[in-house]
């Protein structure tokens, strides 16, 4: 079994690289050196991808008030991507109107809440079953008092919280 010349780790049979330090193993044809057109250090030269776009650069002048940027370059988009949906101009950032705190309301209709009439109707519909269950539990069936307790302690607070939650108004 061969050993790596850099770190001394055991090498697998026909290994092109050391599995521990990633040093190229000499004597394999898939690794090229600088003389064979590869990169210094025995790393193989990268294959040309069909997606590679040649770099296009344009010299720019320095904006007024800044230090000289002679020799600076700026990116120019590839004309092959024109009309393909790839943005070629910067996207504007948020404005002060976007950063203002959201407006919330309980009395106006929003996209996710009822208006005042809907909220009052839902409140009445949540409150009406409670006295009916209490009256029925006292006069006819004592098990209805258990339902009244569950309704009054769990379902009604949960429903009223959701009905009267403040809705967010759209930005105007």
What pLDDT is recorded for position 88?
57
What pLDDT is recorded for position 47?
52
What is the torsional sign of CA 92, 95, 99, 105? negative
What pLDDT is recorded for position 59?
46
56 near 78, Cβ under 8 Å? yes
Query: Looking at beta carbons, which pairs linking 121-128 to residues 24 or more positions away fall under 8 Å?
Result: 122/159, 122/163, 123/160, 123/163, 123/164, 126/155, 126/156, 126/159, 126/160, 126/163, 127/156
d(CA 28, CA 11): 13
Say how many residues make up the chain: 172
Tens-digit pLDDT profile for residues 2-28: 788 888 888 888 788 788 888 888 775
Q: If DSSP codes are grouped into helix, strand and coil, which group holds residue 114?
A: coil
Distance in Å from the first CA to the final CA of the chain? 75
137 near 104, Cβ under 8 Å? no
148 near 137, Cβ under 8 Å? yes
Tell me the pTM: 0.42
What pLDDT is recorded for position 20?
84
Query: For the chain, which residues make up each domain, given as ranges?
Result: 1-29, 107-165
d(CA 79, CA 38): 31
CA distance to 25, 50, 58, 70, 72, per residue, from 61 (Å):
49, 33, 10, 7, 8
- pLDDT values of the chain reduced to their tens digit, one per residue, 172 residues: 678 888 888 888 878 878 888 888 877 544 444 444 444 455 554 555 454 444 444 444 545 545 444 444 455 556 666 666 665 566 666 666 666 777 888 888 888 888 899 999 999 999 999 999 999 999 988 888 999 999 999 999 999 999 999 988 876 6
d(CA 150, CA 166): 26
Whose structure tokens read 């079953």?
129
């Amino acid at each position: 079994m061969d050993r790596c010349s850099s770190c001394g780790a055991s090498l697998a049979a026909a290994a092109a690289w050391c599995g521990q330090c990633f040093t190229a193993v000499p004597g394999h044809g898939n690794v090229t050196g600088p003389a064979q057109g590869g990169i210094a250090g025995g790393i193989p030269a990268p294959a040309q991808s069909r997606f590679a776009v040649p770099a296009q650069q344009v010299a720019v002048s320095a904006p007024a008030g800044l230090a000289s940027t002679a020799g600076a370059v700026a990116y120019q988009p590839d004309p092959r991507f024109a009309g393909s949906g790839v943005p070629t101009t910067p996207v504007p950032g948020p404005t002060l109107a976007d950063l203002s705190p959201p407006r919330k309301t309980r009395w106006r209709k929003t996209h996710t809440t009822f208006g005042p009439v809907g909220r009052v109707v839902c409140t009445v519909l949540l409150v009406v079953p409670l006295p009916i269950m209490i009256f029925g539990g006292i006069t006819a069936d004592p098990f209805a008092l258990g339902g009244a307790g569950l309704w009054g302690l769990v379902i009604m607070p949960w429903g009223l919280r959701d009905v009267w939650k403040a809705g967010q108004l759209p930005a105007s």
